[in-house]
Amino acid sequence: MKAVSRLSRTRATDAQFEVKAPVDIVLEHLRQVGPALASLRNESSRLAGWGEELARRLLSGNRLLTAGSAGSAAEVQQFTAELLGRHAGERRPFSVIALRPGVAASAAPVNAIEIAQGHAEEAAVGVRAHIRSGDVLLVVSASGHRHALLEAATAARAAGATVWAVTGAAPNPLAQAADESICINAPKPQVREAQLIALQAMSECLAAALHAMATRPEPPR
């Protein structure tokens, strides 16, 4: 057997972790985000439709519940805060509800549902406590395999609500459990980046739809 010197092993190890120039790191990251953005472009009509449909439902008095798995909770939290705070002085507040696992449904503060494995029952209980027929449950998961979100989606549909899912690559259980889904075909880190973009775009469509509906002249009686 041919002996390998310690020096040779060290050089081989160093080659695996070769330091890249900062600009090359940025370019490589942008290259990796490309497939995720391509998935969103293919779903642009669905995202726009969700924003318009959510505007109609919120104006009709329906609710939105949001739920994000542990890795996607920050994206959901930002989206929820956007709906609660944006143009708050220009329109009546909407019913946007989010729950934290392990907190009683009636006492949970408005926040993103950060659901870790093992909190499926708490998530389902929270959905059953708050959701009504005609409401929307938006679930976000980079994997689409969180049992907690699956339980929440099942509870929402049983109550007559609509479930929208933004997940990683299809097929996955959460996308199949939802009424409609947007599946982003990319590695998990890039999926989460694309999810944030998707929610921001949906928020922009919602705001535009609300403005259009508010300024639309009433039909003659």
pLDDT of 132 above 80? yes
In a domain, 215, yes or no: no
For residue 212, give Cα distances in angstroms to 203, 209, 217. 14, 5, 10
In a domain, 218, yes or no: no
Q: Is the pTM of this model over 0.75?
A: yes
Top pLDDT among 99 and 140 is at 140
In a domain, 75, yes or no: yes
For residue 116, give Cα distances in angstroms to 61, 146, 213. 30, 8, 38
pLDDT score recorded for residue 114: 44
**Cβ pair 49, 55 in contact under 8 A:** no
At 60-113, the pLDDT tens digits run: 999 999 988 877 777 787 788 778 776 555 667 788 887 654 343 333 444 444
By residue range, what is the domain housing residue 78? 67-208
In a domain, 186, yes or no: yes
In a domain, 87, yes or no: yes
In a domain, 217, yes or no: no
- Output the six-digit token pair for 62: 């329906």
Min mean pLDDT across 47-61, 77-91, 121-135 is at 77-91
Report the domain count for the chain: 1
Q: Where would I find the beta strands (DSSP E) of the chain?
A: 64-69, 96-98, 114-115, 136-141, 162-167, 180-183
pLDDT score recorded for residue 9: 54
Which CATH number belongs to the domain containing residue 152 in this structure?
3.40.50.10490
pLDDT score recorded for residue 84: 77
DSSP state of 134: T
pLDDT score recorded for residue 12: 52
